[in-house]
C-alpha cells in the first residue's frame, strides 16, 4: 500500500505536470489545490529537490519547478525515493536486497512468486511516467 507521503508526492507532481508551463509553483498553491498538509508537502518537495527531480527559485516569481521533463520521470523512481524498496520482501528487492534469516531462497516458493510480482510491477512502474498520471 502506498504511504500518504508517496500519494502526496504523486499528487503534487501531477498538478505541476498538468500546468507545467505555468510554473514555478508555490508550495501553498499546490497544498491548497491538492489538499495536502503544507508542512508535509514542504518536506516532500525538498526531498524531490535533493534527488534532482525538482528545482526551486527564491523570491518574486519563485517556487518549485521540474528539473527534468515529467515525461522522463518514472513512477518507480518516485516510489523508491519516497517508499524505499518496491519489492514486497527484502530477499526479492533489486536495489535493497537483504537475505532472509530463516529461509533458503532457492527452495522458497514465496520468494519465487514474489520475484514474479516484483518483475511485473517494475515493468509497469518503470514504463509509466509522471505525465501518464495526468488525466485530460
Q: What is the pLDDT of residues 41-88, one digit of tens each?
A: 999 999 999 999 999 999 888 899 999 999 999 999 999 999 998 998
pLDDT at 20 over 90: no
Q: What are phi and psi of 118, to 5 degrees?
A: -60, -50
pLDDT tens for each residue of 102-114: 888 888 888 899 9
At residue 36, the pLDDT reads 97
- Distance, CA of 69 to CA of 89 (rounded, Å): 32
Residue extents of the structural domains in the chain:
4-66, 73-133
How is domain 4-66 classified at the CATH fold level?
Arc Repressor Mutant, subunit A (1.10.10)
pTM of this structure: 0.88
pLDDT for 23 beyond 80: no
Contact 82, 6 (CB under 8 A): yes
On average, the pLDDT of the chain sits at 92
- Alpha-carbon torsion, ordered 24, 25, 26, 31, to 10 deg: -170
d(CA 76, CA 6): 11
Q: What pLDDT is attached to residue 56?
A: 94
102 touches 83 (CB < 8 A): no
Amino acid at each position: 500500500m502506498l504511504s500518504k507521503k508517496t500519494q502526496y508526492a504523486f499528487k503534487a507532481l501531477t498538478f505541476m505536470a498538468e500546468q507545467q508551463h505555468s510554473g514555478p509553483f508555490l508550495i501553498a498553491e499546490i497544498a491548497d489545490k491538492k489538499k495536502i498538509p503544507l508542512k508535509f508537502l514542504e518536506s516532500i518537495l525538498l526531498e524531490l529537490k535533493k534527488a534532482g527531480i525538482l528545482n526551486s527559485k527564491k523570491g518574486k516569481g519563485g517556487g518549485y519547478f521540474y528539473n527534468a521533463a515529467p515525461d522522463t520521470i518514472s513512477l518507480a523512481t518516485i516510489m523508491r525515493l519516497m517508499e524505499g524498496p518496491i519489492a514486497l520482501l527484502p530477499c526479492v528487492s533489486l536495489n535493497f536486497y537483504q537475505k532472509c534469516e530463516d529461509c533458503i531462497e532457492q527452495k522458497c516458493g514465496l520468494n519465487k512468486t514474489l520475484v514474479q510480482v516484483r518483475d511485473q510491477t517494475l515493468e509497469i512502474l518503470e514504463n509509466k511516467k509522471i505525465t501518464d498520471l495526468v488525466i485530460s
